[in-house]
């Protein structure tokens, strides 16, 4: 039998979402349960994939099926395509498996031509409307289906308005619009070399192709990458007969939600306009009425509308977002879908639906997108102000939240103005660890370079600070302390606003409002915790972050990066002294200075975590990151250290590495200089003993060795740790267990995980480095070319954000199996950025990991993602 590529609405149902797209499946479902829906048909997602496979053509077999469906639709509606008396007009809309609002193309009023326009004028008793629709259709078709520049059409409209001295489009008379239509058709001929297609079937085929093509427009590709949508899915196309809400005072059109999408209140929420078409509601020329008013204007329609809305919500067991049109007293539903809602609304609706007995707790847990929780934890822009604001530039949405403040171009300036009580935004080409204090002081961070795992992005997410990264549109002039974009200059001290959730940059101040964590959030997260098996820890290096993470539900620290503590103003001199030491003695002297400070850091963290497990990692980054680069700073340091400038400078030069990320870092440092490991072990164990004594917590320190690639390397460092730790514990005469484990972040470590496990009490996958080393591209530089990969569909997503399950994931699976094979009780976790990405969390759950660790502000998200993974794929 011939494969079916086209389904009438009456032939599908809600379970066919993958084939018919979300919109198509819902139109079919509504038709089945007796909701009045203007009839039509859906061309499947498979037809879209086939269109691409066949070299961007629609084959005869599918054309035939479309024509048959069209005939059926004509019969059902009693209207005819291209007819002068009773013309069938259709809308042609995209509809993928998941909704991608505004990303793909739509064509309305298709079927209009020189004849049918007269029919529409007659039927609506509104000639002006008919010709206005026709000129809009010509423009939309030419732009969307034929790729003509829509400005050419807009110019004509402006010309005619100028000629007649009109201010608004609404000033155009019927005769003017007829002239517009003629001129539009002339342009079409000029540009296309043929006349505007009068045959509605031809119009339809071209439009269907255009919708298929729009699946791969740049907007859609970017949207897919940000929302985990596969390019292989394709879009369906819905061809639906148009109904008219502008046929007098018993007609109208509107949109409504079954519950309030802003706060979740259980009340119908919507707007409509009498005697209008959908576009008028959107265009904002007339102010729509609240839906309650319909009760007075068209009571019968209102009652029917309310009962259908209730029926739809009960049927889909979720809040619905509906579009409706009333044509001469007859109500139609054009679309329904699960309504988009704010995070607070999502939580209230989920909890309410459980209390109303509609959903089980597990079903409710699946209704909220983990990523949505983010917005609950950060300040947000005042909605009303945001509505009116236009962005000046757009970068990567690197760390969510809203920020508004005065711009400064150096960390020092940001810090000093912050200390004076100003709200500041730090603007940098890219950030480095030296900028940390400016970053802490800033409300938001804007960088020109760098991707989603650049230093700025990772640190900002860790701190929960809003960050827009990689905003190449702005040109920073550090010397003149300004940036320019689109010819406008923004000077030091000027206000800008950043939206870290969209990447938008605004050239003025927008009011922000503090996050509100309502009771529903707590109830919902408790359900998530009761459900999940995967534990959730946090990456935190300060007591402040640790406390924040505990408030967000972290069960421990999975990664404490000790190097972040070394950048503080009071420590960096000692750190630098240690690095440029010429011999062990000098190094030990510098380490002596660091010991008490490190111990205090760890005491603070152990106290903040109140006995929860804490994994502390040894010094990891390449040493040059700590060294001064400016002549002045080098001079200052040489004076502090009592050595000559030349000597210090030559030491610094000798530390230069061509590829520092693959250089002298991680455990390699402690193999060369075991005294560093000695100091860090001492600081950790002494801190643990002190807090155990003071607070009575049963602390089991977890010491983690980074960047291991060989068992003996781990053993070498571990031997030092064990020697020092045992010595201290014996001296103190106290009982304390401790664990020594390793990061798995070098492919060789994954490949030899069975050997490595013999020396390790636990593994923690460092998927940032593991991704970098497996792909062989730098986590700091890949952002520069990965965009080309997305545009050319070579990669669909950023492997530094979403785990590459086929490649890096295989190493994770393999190392877990090998490791546990060698050591049954091996604890396995992950502490790379992927620990806070929902689809990656699902993968770690499925792989049987014990925990994920992520930045504090992603902890609630990971808890929910872990619960959803357990519901979808239960494990013991
Ligand atoms: C990693 O590599 O995944 C990791 C957590 O360590 P870092 O990001 O500090 O290199
Ligand atoms: Mg690493």
* Residue 267, domain CATH: 3.30.470.20
> Measured between alpha carbons, how far is 44 from 6 in angstroms, rounded to an integer?
6
Q: Is residue 100 situated within a structural domain?
A: yes
* pLDDT at residue number 231: 87
Calculated CA dihedral for residues 629, 634, 636, 642, nearest 10 degrees: 150
Mutate to test the pocket of ligand 1, among 773, 831, 840 (most ligand atoms within 8 A of CB): 831
Tell me if residue 455 is catalytic.
yes
What's the mean pLDDT in 487-503?
94
Kindly state if the Cβ of 768 falls inside 6 Å of ligand 1.
yes
Using DSSP's 3-state secondary structure scheme, residue 271 falls into strand
Structural domains in the chain (count): 4
Q: How far is CA 333 from CA 12, 256, 301, 675, in A?
A: 17, 11, 12, 74
Residues 249 and 229 in one domain: no
Q: Is residue 348 situated within a structural domain?
A: no
Mutate to test the pocket of ligand 1, among 743, 765, 780, 840 (most ligand atoms within 8 A of CB): 743
* pLDDT at residue number 270: 86
Q: Is residue 235 situated within a structural domain?
A: yes
- Taking only the tens place, the pLDDT of each residue in 595-617 is 999 999 999 999 999 999 999 99
Residues 583 and 452 in one domain: no
- Whole-structure pTM over 0.75, yes or no? yes
Q: Is residue 640 situated within a structural domain?
A: no
Last residue of a domain, one of 513, 541, 574: 513
Tally the C-alpha atoms within 13 A of residue 835's C-alpha that lie toward its C-beta. Answer: 35
Identify the band that residue 157 occupies on the pLDDT scale cut at 50, 70 and 90: confident
Kindly state if the Cβ of 110 falls inside 6 Å of ligand 1.
no
**Tokens at 680, concatenated:** 């860090």
Using DSSP's 3-state secondary structure scheme, residue 101 falls into coil
Q: How far is CA 666 from CA 140, 454, 562, 581, in A?
A: 58, 19, 11, 18
Number of Cβ within a 10 Å radius of residue 672:
10
- Taking only the tens place, the pLDDT of each residue in 558-579 is 999 998 888 877 888 899 989 9
- Average per-residue pLDDT in the chain? 92
Distance 771 CA to ligand 2 centre (A): 10
> Measured between alpha carbons, how far is 101 from 124 in angstroms, rounded to an integer?
30
Residues 323 and 427 in one domain: no
* pLDDT at residue number 460: 83
Which atom of ligand 1 is found nearest the CA of 559?
Answer: 5
Residues 387 and 467 in one domain: yes
Number of H helices, E strands in the chain: 34, 33
Number of Cβ within a 10 Å radius of residue 629:
10
Identify the band that residue 514 occupies on the pLDDT scale cut at 50, 70 and 90: low
Residues 196 and 270 in one domain: no
User: Is the distance from CB of 717 to CB of 670 less than 8 angstroms?
Assistant: yes
Identify the band that residue 285 occupies on the pLDDT scale cut at 50, 70 and 90: low
Last residue of a domain, one of 241, 267, 284: 241
> Measured between alpha carbons, how far is 295 from 528 in angstroms, rounded to an integer?
41
Residues 421 and 569 in one domain: no
- Apex CA 94: angle with CA 90 and CA 97, to 5°? 135
* pLDDT at residue number 669: 94
Q: Is residue 234 situated within a structural domain?
A: yes
Residues 727 and 602 in one domain: yes
What's the mean pLDDT in 508-521?
80
Residues 268 and 236 in one domain: no
Kindly state if the Cβ of 745 falls inside 6 Å of ligand 1.
yes
Using DSSP's 3-state secondary structure scheme, residue 157 falls into helix
Last residue of a domain, one of 241, 274, 299: 241
Residues 807 and 769 in one domain: yes
By percentage, how much of the chain surpasses pLDDT 70?
98
* pLDDT at residue number 826: 98
Q: Is residue 146 situated within a structural domain?
A: yes
**Tokens at 630, concatenated:** 């400016």
Distance 855 CA to ligand 1 centre (A): 12
Tell me if residue 378 is catalytic.
no
> Measured between alpha carbons, how far is 849 from 871 in angstroms, rounded to an integer?
16
> Measured between alpha carbons, how far is 805 from 544 in angstroms, rounded to an integer?
34
Q: Which one, of 801, 815, 816, lies nearest residue 850 by Cα?
A: 816
> Measured between alpha carbons, how far is 282 from 280 in angstroms, rounded to an integer?
5
Residues 390 and 278 in one domain: no
93-108 core/surface letters (b: 16 or more CB in 10 A; e: else): bbbbbebbeebbbbbb
Identify the band that residue 751 occupies on the pLDDT scale cut at 50, 70 and 90: very high
- Taking only the tens place, the pLDDT of each residue in 37-76 is 999 999 999 999 999 999 999 999 999 999 999 999 999 9
Choosing from 378, 831, 834, 845, the catalytic residue is 831
Domain containing residue 259: 243-341
Residues 6+ apart with CB under 8 A from 64: none
Distance 223 CA to ligand 2 centre (A): 29
Distance 769 CA to ligand 2 centre (A): 5
Residues 461 and 590 in one domain: no
416-444 core/surface letters (b: 16 or more CB in 10 A; e: else): bbbeeeebbbbbbebbebbbbbbbbbbbb
Identify the band that residue 9 occupies on the pLDDT scale cut at 50, 70 and 90: very high
- Taking only the tens place, the pLDDT of each residue in 802-844 is 999 999 999 999 999 999 999 999 999 999 999 999 999 999 9
> Measured between alpha carbons, how far is 859 from 610 in angstroms, rounded to an integer?
18
Distance 711 CA to ligand 1 centre (A): 20
pLDDT greater at residue 123 or residue 461: 123
What's the mean pLDDT in 341-363?
93
Q: CATH number for the domain including 125?
A: 3.30.1490.20
Q: Which one, of 722, 651, 621, lies nearest residue 681 by Cα?
A: 722
User: Is the distance from CB of 445 to CB of 451 less than 8 angstroms?
Assistant: no
Q: Which one, of 233, 240, 209, 226, lies nearest residue 18 by Cα?
A: 233
Residues 391 and 330 in one domain: no
Which ligand is the nearest neighbour of the Cα of 667?
2
Q: CATH number for the domain including 402?
A: 3.50.30.10
Identify the band that residue 280 occupies on the pLDDT scale cut at 50, 70 and 90: low
User: Is the distance from CB of 219 to CB of 103 less than 8 angstroms?
Assistant: yes
Q: CATH number for the domain including 559?
A: 3.20.20.60
Q: Which one, of 675, 770, 683, 753, lies nearest residue 714 by Cα?
A: 753
By percentage, how much of the chain surpasses pLDDT 90?
70
What is the dihedral sign for C-alpha 498, 503, 506, 507? positive
Indicate which residue's Cα is closest to atom 4 of ligand 1: 766
User: Is the distance from CB of 105 to CB of 94 less than 8 angstroms?
Assistant: yes
* pLDDT at residue number 636: 87
Q: Is residue 811 situated within a structural domain?
A: yes
Q: Is residue 630 situated within a structural domain?
A: no
- Apex CA 421: angle with CA 416 and CA 423, to 5°? 85
């Amino acid at each position: 039998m011939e494969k079916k590529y086209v389904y009438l609405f009456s032939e599908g149902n809600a379970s066919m979402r993958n084939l018919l797209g979300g919109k198509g499946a819902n139109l079919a479902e509504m038709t089945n349960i007796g909701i009045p829906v203007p009839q039509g048909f859906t061309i499947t997602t498979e037809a879209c994939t086939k269109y691409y496979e066949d070299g961007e053509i629609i084959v005869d077999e599918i054309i035939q099926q479309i024509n048959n469906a069209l005939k059926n639709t004509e019969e059902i509606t009693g209207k005819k395509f291209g007819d002068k008396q009773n013309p069938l007009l259709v809308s042609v809309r995209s509809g993928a498996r998941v909704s991608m609002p505004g990303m793909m193309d739509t064509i309305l009023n298709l079927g209009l031509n020189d004849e049918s326009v007269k029919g529409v004028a007659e039927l609506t008793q509104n000639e002006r409307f008919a010709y206005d629709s026709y000129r809009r259709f010509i423009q939309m078709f030419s732009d969307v289906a034929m790729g003509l520049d829509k400005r050419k059409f807009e110019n004509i409209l402006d010309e005619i308005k100028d000629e007649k001295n009109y201010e608004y489009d609404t000033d155009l008379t019927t005769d003017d619009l007829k002239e517009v239509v003629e001129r539009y058709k002339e342009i079409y001929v000029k540009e296309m070399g043929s006349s505007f297609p009068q045959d509605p079937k031809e119009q339809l085929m071209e439009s269907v192709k255009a919708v298929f093509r729009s699946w791969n427009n740049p907007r859609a590709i970017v949207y897919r990458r940000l929302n985990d949508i596969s390019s292989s899915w394709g879009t369906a196309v819905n061809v639906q007969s148009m109904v008219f809400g502008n046929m007098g005072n018993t007609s109208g059109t509107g949109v409504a939600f079954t519950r309030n999408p802003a706060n979740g209140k259980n009340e119908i929420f919507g707007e409509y306009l009498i005697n209008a078409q959908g576009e008028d509601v959107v265009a904002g020329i007339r102010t729509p009425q609240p839906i309650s008013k319909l009760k007075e204007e068209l009571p019968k329609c209102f009652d029917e509308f309310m009962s259908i809305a209730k029926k739809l919500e009960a049927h889909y067991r979720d809040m619905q977002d509906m579009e409706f049109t009333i044509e001469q007293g007859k109500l139609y539903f054009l679309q329904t879908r699960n309504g988009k809602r704010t995070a607070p609304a999502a939580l209230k609706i989920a909890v309410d639906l459980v209390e109303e007995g509609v959903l089980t707790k597990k079903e409710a847990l699946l209704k909220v997108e983990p990523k949505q929780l983010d917005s609950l934890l950060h300040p947000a822009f005042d909605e009303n102000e945001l509505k009116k604001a236009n962005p000046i530039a757009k970068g990567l949405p690197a760390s969510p939240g809203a920020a508004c403040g005065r711009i400064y171009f150096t960390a020092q300036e940001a810090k000093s103005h912050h200390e004076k009580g100003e709200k500041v935004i730090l603007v940098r080409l890219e950030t480095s660890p030296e900028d940390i204090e400016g970053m802490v002081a800033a409300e938001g961070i804007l960088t020109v370079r760098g991707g989603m795992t650049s230093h700025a992005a990772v640190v900002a997410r860790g701190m929960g600070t809003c960050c827009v990264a990689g905003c190449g549109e702005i040109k920073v002039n550090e010397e003149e302390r300004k940036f320019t974009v689109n010819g406008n200059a923004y000077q030091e001290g000027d206000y800008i606003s950043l939206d870290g959730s969209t990447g938008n940059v605004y050239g003025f101040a927008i009011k922000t409002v503090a996050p509100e964590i309502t009771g529903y959030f707590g109830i919902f997260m408790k359900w998530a915790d009761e459900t999940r098996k995967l534990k959730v820890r946090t990456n935190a290096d300060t007591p402040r972050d640790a406390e924040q993470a505990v408030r967000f539900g972290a069960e421990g620290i999975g990664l404490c990066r000790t190097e972040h503590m070394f950048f503080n103003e009071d420590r960096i001199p000692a750190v630098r002294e240690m690095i440029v030491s010429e011999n062990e003695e000098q190094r030990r002297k510098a380490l002596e200075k660091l010991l008490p400070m490190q111990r205090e850091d760890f005491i603070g963290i152990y106290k903040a975590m109140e006995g929860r497990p804490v994994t502390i990692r040894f010094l990891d980054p390449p040493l040059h990151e700590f060294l001064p680069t400016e002549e002045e700073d080098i001079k200052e340091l040489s004076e502090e250290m009592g050595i000559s400038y030349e000597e210090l400078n030559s030491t610094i030069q000798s530390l230069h590495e061509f590829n520092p990320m693959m250089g002298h870092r991680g455990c390699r440092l402690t193999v060369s200089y075991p005294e560093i490991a000695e100091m860090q072990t001492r600081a950790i164990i002494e801190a643990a003993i002190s807090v155990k004594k003071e607070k009575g917590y049963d602390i089991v320190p977890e010491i983690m060795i980074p960047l291991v690639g060989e068992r003996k390397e781990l053993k070498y460092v571990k031997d030092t740790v064990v020697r020092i730790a045992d010595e201290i514990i014996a001296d103190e005469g106290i009982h304390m267990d401790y664990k020594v484990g390793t990061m798995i972040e070098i492919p060789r470590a994954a490949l030899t995980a069975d050997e490595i496990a013999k020396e390790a009490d636990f593994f923690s996958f460092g998927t940032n480095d593991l991704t970098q080393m497996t792909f062989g591209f730098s986590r700091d530089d890949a952002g520069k070319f990965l965009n080309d990969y997305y545009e050319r569909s070579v990669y669909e997503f950023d492997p530094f954000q979403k785990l590459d399950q086929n490649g890096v994931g295989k190493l994770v699976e393999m190392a877990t199996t090998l490791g546990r094979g060698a050591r049954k009780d091996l604890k396995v976790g992950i502490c790379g950025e992927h620990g806070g990405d929902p689809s990656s969390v699902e993968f770690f759950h499925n792989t049987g990991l014990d925990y994920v660790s992520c930045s504090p502000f992603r902890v609630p998200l990971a808890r929910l993602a872990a619960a959803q993974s357990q519901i979808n794929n239960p494990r013991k």
